[in-house]
Structure 1
């Protein structure tokens, strides 16, 4: 039986969603973040040396990294579904978005999260200085970079949509979901109607809703 080592409020929600789309039976091993640090518990190290989620075990195989897991699931269980045909323009887009989600988009989102946390959690005596530094870095680097990325994504869906690989829903949409949902929780989808519409459509998918029932609370705005 395939097992998803599922951490609350994490990228492993994408794995549950992909499995629900595929209709593959699975079990869930649940882990909870430390409520103060929001870090994964040390027990995940027993599954994978990095102690991070998502991790999937399938027989003797242990797989980590969202993109690698989704590709494995589609190649192993998809029977031609959720991936465009190899050699087509849609497949090139599919492969690109599978890597872009964590290779390009995740970094500025993480930087924004880090600097927001610095502003909120710095010790009281140094908070004004920390906030001043954070505001300057975000203004010079993080915010313009995020705008560039989300303007780009809006344009790509406008020109090539309605899904990221083209006309059909694919695992690339599952892979892109975490970053775009995190952005929506931070108000970054305002005045970006194509992205907002894409987000509504993924939330309406029955498999997405079943995955939420399986995975539990999923609130990226709580970070």
Structure 2
């Protein structure tokens, strides 16, 4: 059986959410972060050589990396759902935002998080440049969801699942004010209204306040 190994407050929430959207059978195993270091416990790190979330097992398969896991589950269990065909007018948008989520936004937020922990001066050139890149990414998302219901257009897809973590739970690690982002707040409201999202967050991170505004 497909097993999702979910590390609390991590990118593996995407995989729990995906399984709930597809309504496929899966086993969920939850792991708590170390309360002092906030890192994954040893038994989670032992699942895959990379030692980070997400990780799934499916029979003898052990697979990590969000994009790879999402594409694997879609290919094996999705039956064409939550993706767009090349003939769809919004196919290129779907591809762009699916890869933007981890290739650009999450990477930038991760770098910014690390730099913030170094106690650099506020005018440090690297810190300023990294923050500016994060802001530009949020500008881009703000514009996109101001003109489209979901990232790929009118249809909810895995592009939305991929970006959801960065816009919400990641802000526990890198606080980011959405006060000037009304379109993103409205978009997150649409996400939060989805029953599958609600089930996923309740199963994976019960009791965690969801950063939706």
Q: So what's the TM-score if we normalise by structure 2?
A: 0.88
Partners of 2:20 and 2:199 within 8 A in 1: yes
2-structure distance, mates of 1:84, 1:220: 28
Q: 1:161-176 counterparts in 2 under 5 A?
A: 161-176=148-163
1:122 match: none
Superposed displacement of residue 21, structure 1: 0.5
- Match 1:206 to one of 177, 195, 201: 195
2:170 and 2:205 map into 1 onto residues whose CA distance is 20
| Cα shift at 1:146 | 1.5
- Call closer, same or farther: CA 1:107–1:137 in 2, change over 3 Å: farther
Q: In the alignment, what sits opposite 1:104?
A: 104
- SS of aligned partner of 1:89: coil
Q: Tell me the alpha carbon deviations over residues 16-54 of structure 1, each in whole angstroms, 9 at most, x when there is no partner.
A: 011001001111222221122111122223321111111
1:61 and 1:152, CA in 2 relative to 1: closer, same or farther beyond 3 A? same
Correspondences of 1:44-55 after superposition (within 5 Å): 44-55=44-55
Q: Which runs of 5+ in 1 are unaligned?
A: 120-130
Cα root mean square deviation, aligned = 2.1
Query: How far apart are the structure 2 equivalents of 1:29 and 1:58?
Result: 13
The residue that corresponds to 2:35 in the other structure is 35
Stretches of structure 2 lacking an aligned partner (at least 5 in a row): none
The Cα offsets for residues 162-197 of structure 1, whole Å up to 9 and x where unpaired, read as 100111001110001011114666233222221111
2: CA distance between counterparts of 1:147 and 1:64? 28
Structure number with the higher helix fraction is 1
Instruction: Give the CA deviation at 1:143.
Output: 2.0
What's 1:125 paired with? none
- In structure 2, what is the Cα distance between the partners aligned to 1:24 and 1:33? 27
* CA distance, structure 1, for counterparts of residue 200 and residue 42 of structure 2: 25
Larger radius of gyration: 1
Q: Secondary structure at the match of 2:86?
A: coil
Distance 1:50 1:139 in 2: 27
User: CA shift at 1:139, angstroms?
Assistant: 5.4
CA contact (8 A) 1:21 1:207 kept: yes
How far, CA to CA, are the matches of 2:8 and 2:2 in structure 1?
19
Number of matched pairs:
208
Residue 141 of structure 1: aligned partner: 129
Deviations, residues 109-165 of structure 1 (Å, cap 9, x unaligned): 11222233333xxxxxxxxxxx42x55246521221121111111112234x11001
Match of 1:124 in 2: none
Offset of residue 219 of structure 1: 5.4
Report the equivalent of 1:115: 115
